[in-house]
Homo-oligomer: A and B are copies of this chain.
C-alpha cells in the first residue's frame, strides 16, 4: 500500500506539480481512502518528505583516478549540479517542509559520506582529513547557498572549494 501511495505522489507531482497536491487527490490515485493516508502519515508534508527520502541516493558515477586534487573537485562539481538542479531543489524543499526543528531533516550526509570515503580510499596518497571535513568545506556551502541566496550557484563554487580544501591539506595543512 505504501508502494501505491508513493507511486501516486510521484505520478501526480510530475503531472500537476507539487503545489496544489492534496491528500484526497493522492488517495484517489492510489486507490485508497484518505483516512488511510492521514493515519499513516498525518500530513501531505510528511508524506512528501517520505517520498523524497526514497530518491536520496547520490552515487558517484565517476571513476577515481587516484589523485585527490582531481577526484574531489570533479565529484564536488557533479554534486553541486545535482543539488542545484530542479529535482535536487525539489527534493530539499520536500524534505525541509517536514522538518520539526529538533531531529535531522534527513540523512543527506549519510548519503554523501560513502562517496567521499570511496574517493579517499582510492587515493594514492595519505589522507589527512575525514569525510565530515569535506562535508563542511564543500557540501555545506552548496546547500546553504541554495537555501539562502537567489538564482543558480556560481558554477565553480563546489569545485573551487574542493580544490582549495585539497590544496591546504596537501602541503602545510
Interface residues of A (CB under 8 A from B): 89-90, 92-93, 96-97, 99-109, 135-136, 139-141, 143-145, 147-150, 161, 168, 172
Contact = CB atoms under 8 A, between A and B. Distances in A.
Copies of this chain: 2
B150 A103 contact: yes
9 contacts: A93-B99, A93-B100, A96-B147, A105-B147, A109-B148, A135-B144, A140-B141, A144-B144, A168-B168
Contact of A150 (B93, B104, B148): B104
A19 B118 CA distance: 41
Contacts of A106: 148
Contacts of A172: 172
Contact of A144 (B99, B102, B107, B143): B143
A148 B172 CA distance: 31
B96 A149 contact: no
Given A93-B100, A100-B93, A168-B168, A161 B148 contact: no
